[in-house]
């Protein structure tokens, strides 16, 4: 009891010094206990409320608007809850936008195209990124730090400018074609820009660091004596890799793949700058629906359907991410 009193006095010496009359002890204790019990919410609430309002609630609005009809005006959609007439509210929910998604080939095709493109680009990233991360994890500590900086630096550099830099190299009169022509390997410039290949190239180029970093993080922690033990038992190196290294680095493989796959499906900049008119990725369709056609309800429906498709991959990512954080 005495210690508690002492604590309170220590915490508010300036108040007693100023001669502020102390509230009755019982009330003070009650306020103090309540404050102690709930004060952690002072820290939790600001980020919690901010993210609820500006990350979660926006999805609810998108969900709501996806059931509206589009009109010409500001905002360009009809209200769901109309004016009250004869004591009941007019509710006009239209599932037309969703019907439209399934009847117009454009949307389904662009979903499939996006998923396919993102999948193969992720695979290429993995095939290049895994050996890179492995070589990094096996280097000496000083080299590791240097290599890490080299891999992280592009991650900090502007995404848009990196895509632009890649474009300047692979365009028809870019460095790549000029060099190949000069070497005599080709007799007319390769057409790389505005093809599906260019979209793959762009995604691999932009997202490679996202693959390498989590892979490196797991491979670096890997106990190499296990691999040596496997070699001592007479296993060839590739067996040691398949039996030991690969399974142990699986969390990194999955985290890296999801970090590439999920944003790549929704990629807008790369297909619009590098892809041809046929590379209708869903991000591009969504952008056009919103900015060119001004059809917000359809754009919302596309976005909501897209998020529903992403729930699976995001859950996988979160699961392995939490595992990795706990490890």
Partner 1 sequence: MTNRTSPLILTILCFGIAFLYLPMLVLIAYSFNGSALVQVWGGFSTKWYVELFHNDQILDAALLSVEIAVTASTGAVILGTLAAIALVRFPRFRGRLLLTGMVNAPLIMPEIITGITLVLLFMSMTEMFSWPTTRGFTTIVIAHVAFCMGYVTITVQSRLQTVDKTLEEAAMDLGSGPVRAFCDVTLPIIAPSLVSGWLLSFTLSLDDLVISSFVAGPGSSTLPMVIYSKVKLGVSPDVNALASLVIGIVGIGVIIAGTLMRRAERQRAIDLQMAAR
Of residues 131-160, which lie at the interface with partner 1 (CB under 8 A)?
A: 131-132, 134-136, 138-140, 147, 149-154, 156-160
Query: For residue 61, what are the contacts with CB-CB under 8 A and spacing of at least 6?
Result: none
**Which of these ranges, 16-24, 51-59, 82-90, 94-102, lies near partner 1 under the rule CB under 8 A?**
51-59
Residue 122 three-state SS = helix
Distance CA 101, CA 97 (A): 6
Considering the complex, state which of residue 10 and residue 233 has its C-beta at the smaller distance from partner 1.
10
Three-state SS for 139-198 is: CCHHHHHHHHHHHHHHHHCCHHHHHHHHHHHHCCCCHHHHHHHHHCCCCCCCCCCCCHHH
Least distance (Å) between residue 223 CB and partner 1: 12
CA distances from 118 to 151, 201, 207, 261, 301 (A): 21, 11, 11, 5, 21
Least distance (Å) between residue 86 CB and partner 1: 25
Least distance (Å) between residue 137 CB and partner 1: 9
Structure tokens at 299: 């754009």
Distance CA 287, CA 244 (A): 45
Least distance (Å) between residue 92 CB and partner 1: 17
Residues 216-275 that bind partner 1 (CB under 8 A): 224, 258-259, 262-263, 265-269, 272-273
Considering the complex, state which of residue 121 and residue 299 has its C-beta at the smaller distance from partner 1.
299
**Which of these ranges, 27-35, 37-45, 82-90, 92-100, lies near partner 1 under the rule CB under 8 A?**
37-45
Question: Mask of contacts with partner 1, 75-94, x by CB under 8 A?
Answer: x-------------------
Q: Is 207 near partner 1 (CB under 8 A)?
A: no
Q: Is 59 near partner 1 (CB under 8 A)?
A: yes
Among 23, 58, 236, 247, binds partner 1 (CB under 8 A): 58
CA distances from 62 to 80, 81, 88, 250, 299 (A): 12, 15, 25, 36, 9
Residue 31 three-state SS = helix
Among 121, 124, 166, 244, binds partner 1 (CB under 8 A): 166
Least distance (Å) between residue 76 CB and partner 1: 9
Q: Hunting for tokens 């969703």 — which residue is that?
A: 98
Q: Is 34 near partner 1 (CB under 8 A)?
A: no
Structure tokens at 222: 């890997």
Considering the complex, state which of residue 2 and residue 87 has its C-beta at the smaller distance from partner 1.
2
């Amino acid at each position: 009891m005495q210690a508690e009193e002492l604590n309170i006095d220590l915490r508010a010496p300036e108040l007693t010094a100023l001669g502020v009359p102390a509230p009755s002890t019982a009330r003070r204790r009650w306020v103090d206990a309540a404050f102690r019990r709930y004060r952690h919410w002072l820290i939790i609430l600001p980020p919690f409320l901010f993210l609820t309002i500006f990350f979660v609630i926006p999805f609810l609005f998108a969900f709501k608007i996806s059931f509206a009809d589009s009109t010409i005006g500001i905002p360009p959609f009809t209200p769901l809850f109309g004016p009250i007439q004869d004591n009941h509210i007019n509710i006009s929910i239209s599932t037309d936008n969703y019907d439209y998604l399934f009847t117009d080939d454009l949307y389904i095709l662009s979903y499939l195209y996006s998923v396919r493109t993102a999948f193969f680009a992720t695979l290429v990233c993995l095939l290049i990124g895994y050996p890179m991360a492995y070589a990094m994890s096996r280097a000496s500590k000083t080299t590791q730090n240097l290599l890490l900086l080299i891999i992280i630096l592009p991650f900090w550099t502007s995404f848009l400018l990196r895509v632009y830099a890649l474009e300047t190299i692979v365009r028809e009169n870019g460095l790549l074609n000029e060099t190949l022509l000069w070497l005599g390997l080709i007799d007319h410039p390769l057409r790389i820009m505005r093809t599906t290949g260019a979209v793959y190239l762009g995604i691999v180029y932009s997202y490679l660091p996202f693959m390498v970093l989590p892979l490196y993080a797991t491979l670096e922690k890997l106990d190499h004596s296990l691999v040596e033990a496997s070699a001592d038992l007479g296993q060839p190196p590739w067996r040691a890799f398949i039996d030991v290294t690969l399974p142990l680095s699986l969390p990194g493989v999955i985290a890296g793949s999801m970090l590439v796959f999920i944003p790549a499906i929704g990629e807008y900049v790369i297909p619009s700058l590098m892809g041809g008119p046929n590379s209708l990725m869903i991000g591009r369709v969504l952008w056009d629906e919103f900015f060119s056609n001004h059809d917000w309800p359809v754009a919302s429906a596309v976005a909501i359907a897209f998020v529903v498709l992403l729930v699976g991959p995001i859950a996988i990512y979160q699961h392995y991410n939490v595992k990795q954080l706990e490890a």
